[in-house]
Copies of this chain bind each other. A is one copy, B any other.
Amino acid sequence: TRQTEDTTSDKEMHIKTTLRELLVYVIFLIILCIVTFAMTSPTLYYYTKVMSELFLDSQFPDTKNTFRGMTSMADFWRFSETPLMDGLYWEKWYNGRNVSQNELGYIFYENKVLGVPRLRQLKVRNDSCTVHSDFQNDIKQCYDVYAKSIEDKNPFGKMNGSAWTYSSESQLKGSSHWGLISTYGGGGYVQNLATTMEKSKIIIADLKQNLWLDRGTRAIFVDFTVYNANINLFCVVRLLIEFPATGGAIPSWNFRTVKLIRYVTAGDYFVLACEAIFCLFICYYIVEEVLEIKRLKFSYFKSFWNILDILVIVISFVCVIFNVYRTIKVDKMLTDLLKQPEEYPDFEFLSYWQVQFNSAIAILVFLAWIKIFKYISFNKTMTQLSSTLARCAKDLAGFAVMFFIVFLAFAQLGYLIFGTQVKDFSSFPSAIFTLFRIILGDFNFHELEAANRVLGPMYFILYVFFVFFVLLNMFLAIINDTYSEVKADVSSQQNEFEVGDYFKKSYDK
């Protein structure tokens, strides 16, 4: 954005320039908001919701447990035998009649399952860790926590077929996955399911009978993608069950609802037009900033607002490029896929980047909103407030450092004392977030007390006393004191020329 400091001598000129810039900027912001609000809608949430309820909350017929509550390998088989089958294959109407042939393969009769679902497991070798010498006579095998380097790649069980022989990440064109316990590689032992419930049940029964999962198994992925033509959305589903080295099972899941095909309806084409305008704006701002950099050289980078400008432009640029790439890539994938309906189609990669793209856009809009403060800062009340913030920033920062040292000390204390017992303190970052949440009043005192009946309550009371009663009030004291100063300064100054005056003057003419 053009530097306006050189015109401050001429106030009226300054205001005129600012107002014009503001106007242009507001149009830019509106276009940006249209583009982003068009990207999402409550429908996406409903899609995630109905899909996740279907697979996560359906009860196993015998134990009434659900996917969310899985605790053992046996639970995985219970899940795959009933809720997974009933969720994937809708072969009967509610009155018991079979659905017609061309209605097969739709979840909820609406969502086409693309290709076939896939099971994939990852194992570790049985010599992946050292048993302590005292136990070496009794315990012959040791399966470590999963790591890529100790993955088991040998055939096992029936020794043939992709389910029993290892396929590497590059063979599967997979990518690694950040689970709750570890980050898993993209390879593994792979078994595609079939397009009908009957065949799939046979496949699963066979796996179960031959002990496909054993002590070395560290994770199973269930992957599939559905497409809903009504609302033109893909839902890329990944169900993951991790088997930690401690025994037991930890389920997690990922329902990525994404709009991979963007331009179908008339509304979509309107958005396309907005996107084109957005690109023009980006070009305009690029040119402007380049000129300004040339003019101001190094001093350009000293202004917070200029850094923000560059950030906005860079993110915009990346997003535009990804958008083009995605459109091309998806088209290619779909063409391939529809030719081979019995293959597993890997939308994992694409949906992952689509989610990152959405996040980038979201941050872009946030920054664009913040930038608006650049323009409104010449109103007097606003000046007073923003200069309060600016003036106390240094003190606040200094205090924030003090605050966070105490905070981290408490976090580490909590992590070490309660870490083995309380989920919210089971890792160091969790402990930090938990302490933040305590300040807002969201905590579970009884868990702390159960974890350590003496130190739990003492820790809680000390923390509340020092951080909530004392330190938090320091923030207030700093802001309060600075505000008084600023207000005293402002009222002692002579009145500056303001926008209000400008409009009044224009009106008087």
Of B227, B385, B482, the contact of A398 (CB 8 Å cutoff): B385
Q: Cβ of A441: which chain B residues have Cβ within 8 Å of it? A: 440-442
Residues of B within 8 Å of A36, CB to CB, are: 412, 416
Residue of B nearest to A488 (CB): B481
Q: Are B483 and A464 in contact (CB under 8 A)?
A: no
Complex CA gap A230/B426 in Å reads 20
Say yes or no: A481 contacts B484, CB within 8 Å.
Answer: yes
Contact B246 A110 (CB under 8 A): yes
Q: Cβ of A396 < 8 Å from any Cβ of B?
A: yes
Please give, as numbers and ranges, the residues of chain B lying within 8 Å of A140 by CB-CB distance.
102
Residues of B contacting A347 in the complex (Cβ-Cβ under 8 angstroms): none
Q: For the complex, is A132 an interface residue (Cβ under 8 Å from B)?
A: yes
A402 adjacent to chain B (CB < 8 Å): yes
Q: Which residues of B contact A438 (CB under 8 A)?
A: 440
Given contacts A361-B416, A457-B433, A476-B480, A405 and B369 within 8 Å (CB-CB): yes
State the Cβ distance, A250 to closest chain B Cβ, in Å.
Answer: 7
Report the stretch among A19-27, A287-295, A305-313, A465-473 that lies at the interface: A465-473
Is there a chain B Cβ closer than 8 Å to A112's Cβ? yes
* CB of A276 closer than 8 Å to a CB of B: no
Judge whether A390 is part of the interface by a CB distance below 8 angstroms: no
- A246 CB, nearest partner CB in chain B, Å: 4
Residues of B within 8 A of A13 (CB): none
Q: Quick one: which of B93, B265, B478 contacts A129, CB cutoff 8 A?
A: B265
Give the CA-CA distance A114 to B440 in the complex, in Å.
Answer: 44
Given contacts A443-B440, A470-B479, A480-B481, contact A455 B359 (CB under 8 A): yes
Q: Given A53-B248, A77-B94, is A134 in contact with B331 using a C-beta cutoff of 8 Å?
A: yes
Given the known interface contacts A264-B132, A439-B464, A440-B441, the answer about A480 and B487 at a Cβ–Cβ threshold of 8 Å is no
B227 touches A135 (CB 8 A): yes
Please provide the chain A residues from 142 to 181 with a CB less than 8 Å away from any CB of chain B in the complex.
142-145, 178, 181
Min CB–CB distance A336 → chain B (angstroms): 11
Q: Per DSSP, are chain A's interface residues mostly helix, strand or loop, or mixed?
A: helix
Q: Check: A273 CB closer than 8 A to any chain B CB.
A: no
Number of interface residues of A (CB under 8 A): 160
Of A71, A370, A372, most B-chain CB atoms within 10 Å: A71
A184 in the interface, Cβ–Cβ < 8 Å? Answer: no
Point out the residue from B359, B422, B482 that lies within 8 Å of A452, measured CB to CB: B359
- Docked CA distance A398–B412 (Å): 30
Chain B nearest CB: distance from A283 CB in Å?
A: 24
Contact of A385 among B137, B139, B265, B402 (CB under 8 A): B402
Neighbour of A74 across the interface among B72, B94, B111, B338, CB < 8 A? B94
A215 to B370, CA, bound (A): 45
Say whether A95 faces chain B, with CB atoms less than 8 Å apart: yes
Say yes or no for A344: interface residue by CB 8 A criterion: no
Residue A460 lies at the interface, judged by CB distance under 8 Å to chain B: yes
Bound-state Cα–Cα, A334 to B137, Å: 12
Q: Are A230 and B245 in contact (CB under 8 A)?
A: yes
Given A129-B229, A441-B442; 4 other pairs, CB 8 A cutoff:
A48-B420, A95-B211, A359-B455, A384-B398
